[in-house]
């Protein structure tokens, strides 16, 4: 029983179609079906983000579509017990009637994949115990691709037209075979996804960017990963991307790379003491603490004034009906007779608050100087590391790459050696730059 609504809760894994009999499919329901068809596997949070609108309403639509058999759901065994559901399509016969609705884009309903989902992950597969570990790993892999696809579309929609997702392909439509070369046999080229980003504001000839996506769950062996890299390089060198995707604007591998922008590390000209003074002058937290100290010092001075006698003079005038007006004047004097139990304690309290504020200010000053000194020493270490990479490590790796190129041309080393040397120098360049950027 649901405490909030007073209605009986519906089961989460068993369908109860009679609970929603006679309901019509709304535009939100059709959009949910279309979105799941586009991505094949989607978690409930991603569906809510992609469909938009009220979150509770979308949850109710998901519940209704599940119990009516339009969509299916399951939980990944490796996920926590309270994890969200993963939704997919499996009822091809029922969805064919949905595809005739003009409010849905039927191109996103791939019935071959829907039938395959029913065979592997549908209710029959679950009852027969056919959800094996490999199938669950495949679903987790597909969820990684779906998450990336959803994030890509979401960010493109926030770019205000500067970037758009023009093409997205995944599955066996992207598969190809790289022919045999001198160094390797025929290799499969199977990216997890291929997509094209469009940049409308870019110059002509630079408005489209072509990308492959690989979702690696850290389950691929090193040997297989190297073969995958070789397949990518050969796919590019043999121009198969033109034949497969018609990407005629992709840069020719023989064209030289454009010169990179000149970036120089900033010189650390200021001394540490000068940086301390500048930080103390501009740090708003330290300035706030200093103002608190000054405030408490004034409060202490005011508390000391309570030791002095206080004199007062007051005048009163009152009009009285049927009686003469009344005038009065009073003189008062306040003598701190009980200064030991009152004024002295006030001074002690104000003095203690001043000391506390001074310690808080000194603590902030020490933290500021520590952070500044730490960053100053890190900048010096990065400068030394940059000098080491630029003057010693990178030139040595460049010589190794240059020497392996002619050796590869005469057949003394294989292509993986050249690729490994190139990867080494690339990583060293990136690591050296990361030390000071």
pLDDT tens per residue across span 24-34? 888 899 999 98
Which one has a higher pLDDT value, 131 or 345? Answer: 345
Contact 387, 202 (CB under 8 A): no
- Output phi, psi for 187, to 5 deg: -120, 145
Reported confidence tier of residue 380, pLDDT bands at 50, 70, 90: confident
Concatenated DSSP letters for 21-59? TTPPPPHHHHHHHHHHHHHSSEEHHHHHHHH-S-HHHHH
Tell me the mean pLDDT in the region 367-379.
Answer: 89
pLDDT computed for residue 355 by the predictor: 92
How crowded is the C-beta side of 270, counted as CA atoms within 13 Å?
14
* Top-confidence residue, 280 or 106: 280
- Distance CA(65)–CA(20), nearest Å, equals 9
DSSP letters for 331-368: EEEE--TTTTTTHHHHHHHHHHHHHHHHHHHHHHHHHH
Given this model, what pLDDT does residue 253 score?
47
Residue 359 pLDDT exceeds 90: yes
Task: Tell me which DSSP letter residue 257 carries.
Answer: P
Q: How high is the pLDDT of residue 262?
A: 62
Nearest-angstrom CA–CA distance, 170 and 145: 9
What confidence score (pLDDT) does residue 292 get? 92
φ, ψ of residue 198 in degrees (nearest 5):
-110, 130
Bridge partner list, 189: 176
State the pLDDT at residue 6: 52
Q: How many angstroms separate the CA atoms of 297 and 287, rounded? A: 15
User: Most confidently modeled of 17-21, 349-353, 409-413?
Assistant: 349-353
For residues 46 and 146, the answer to whether their CB atoms sit within 8 Å is yes
Q: Is the dihedral of CA 354, 355, 356, 359 positive or negative?
A: positive
Q: Over the chain, what is the mean pLDDT? A: 81
Owner of token pair 């199938």 = 135
Identify which has the larger pLDDT, 309 or 436: 309
What is the percent of the chain with per-residue pLDDT over 70, rounded to a whole number? 85
Beta bridge pairs of residue 165 = 197
**Alpha-carbon distance 370 to 373, whole Å?**
5
Exposed e or buried b per residue across 389-420, where buried means at least 16 C-beta atoms within 10 angstroms of its C-beta: beeebbeebeeebeebeeebeeeebbbebbbb
pLDDT at 128: 41
Q: What is the pLDDT of residue 218?
A: 72
Nearest to 272 by CA among 351, 151, 374: 374
What mean pLDDT comes out for the span 103-114?
82
For residue 182, pLDDT beyond 70: no
Asked if residue 431 has pLDDT above 80, the reply is no
Mean pLDDT within 178-184: 71
Report H helices in 211-283.
Answer: 222-237, 240-245, 272-282
Tell me how far CA of residue 258 lies from CA of 18, 208, 386, in angstroms. 66, 18, 23
Predicted confidence (pLDDT) per residue in 236-276, tens digit: 888 888 888 877 655 544 555 555 556 666 777 788 888 88
Phi then psi dihedrals of residue 186, to 5 deg:
-60, 135
Predicted pLDDT at 195 = 92
> Could you give the 3-state DSSP secondary structure of residue 374?
helix
**Cα(138)–Cα(113) distance, integer angstroms:** 14
Q: What does the pLDDT look like over 390-406, one tens digit per residue?
A: 788 778 888 888 888 88
Q: Which helix (H) or strand (E) holds 401?
A: helix 394-409
H helices of 122-195, where? 123-127, 133-157
Positive or negative, the CA dihedral 116, 122, 125, 131 is positive
How far is it, in rounded angstroms, from Cα 415 to Cα 237?
13
> Shortest CA distance to 75 belongs to which of 51, 41, 39, 48?
41
DSSP state of 393: I
| pLDDT tens column, 292-323 | 999 999 988 888 877 777 788 888 888 888 88
- Tokens 């329901």 -> residue: 29
pLDDT of residue 294: 92
| φ, ψ dihedrals at 141, nearest 5° | -65, -45
List CB contacts of 422: < 8 A, sequence separation 6 or more: 401
Is pLDDT of 79 > 70? no
| Residue 423 pLDDT level (bands cut at 50, 70, 90) | confident
pLDDT tens string 119-153: 877 765 443 444 555 566 678 888 889 889 988 88
């Amino acid at each position: 029983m649901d405490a909030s609504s007073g209605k009986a809760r519906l089961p989460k894994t068993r369908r109860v179609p009679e609970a929603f009999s006679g309901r019509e499919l709304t535009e939100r329901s059709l959009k949910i079906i279309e979105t799941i068809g586009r991505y094949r596997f989607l978690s409930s949070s991603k569906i809510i983000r992609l469909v938009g609108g009220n979150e509770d309403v979308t949850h109710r639509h998901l519940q209704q579509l599940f119990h009516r058999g339009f969509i299916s759901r399951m939980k990944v065994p490796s996920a926590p017990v309270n994890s969200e559901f993963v939704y997919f399509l499996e009822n091809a016969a029922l969805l064919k009637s949905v595809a005739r609705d003009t409010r849905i884009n039927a191109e996103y309903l791939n019935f071959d994949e829907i039938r395959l989902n029913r065979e592997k992950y549908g209710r029959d597969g679950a009852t027969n115990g056919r959800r094996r570990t490999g199938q669950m790993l495949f679903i987790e892999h597909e969820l990684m691709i779906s998450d990336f696809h959803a994030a890509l579309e979401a960010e493109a929609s926030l770019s205000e037209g500067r970037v758009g997702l023009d093409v997205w392909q995944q599955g066996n439509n992207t598969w190809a075979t790289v022919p045999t070369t001198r160094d390797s046999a025929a290799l499969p080229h199977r990216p997890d996804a291929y997509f094209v980003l469009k940049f409308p504001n870019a110059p002509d000839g630079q408005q489209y960017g072509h990308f492959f996506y690989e979702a690696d769950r850290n389950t691929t062996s090193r040997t297989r990963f190297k073969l995958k890299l070789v397949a990518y390089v050969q796919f590019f060198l043999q121009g198969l991307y033109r034949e497969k995707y018609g990407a005629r604007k992709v840069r020719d591998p023989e064209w030289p790379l454009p010169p990179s922008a000149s970036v120089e590390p900033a010189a650390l000209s200021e001394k540490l003491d000068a940086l301390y003074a500048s930080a103390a002058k501009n740090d708003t937290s330290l300035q706030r603490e200093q103002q608190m100290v000054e405030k408490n010092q004034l409060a202490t001075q005011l508390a000391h004034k309570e030791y002095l006698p206080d004199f007062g003079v007051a005048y009163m005038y009152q009009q009285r009906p049927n009686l003469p007006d009344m005038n009065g004047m009073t003189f008062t004097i306040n003598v701190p007779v009980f200064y030991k139990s009152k004024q002295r304690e006030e001074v002690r309290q104000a003095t203690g608050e001043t000391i506390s504020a001074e310690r808080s200010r000194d603590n902030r000053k020490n933290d500021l100087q520590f952070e500044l000194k730490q960053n100053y020493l890190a900048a010096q270490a990065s400068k030394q590391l940059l000098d080491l990479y630029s003057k010693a490590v990178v030139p040595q790796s460049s010589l190794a790459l240059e020497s392996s190129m002619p050796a590869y041309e005469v057949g003394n080393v294989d292509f993986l050696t050249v690729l490994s040397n190139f990867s080494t120098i690339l990583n060293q360049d990136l690591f050296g730059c990361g030390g000071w950027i």
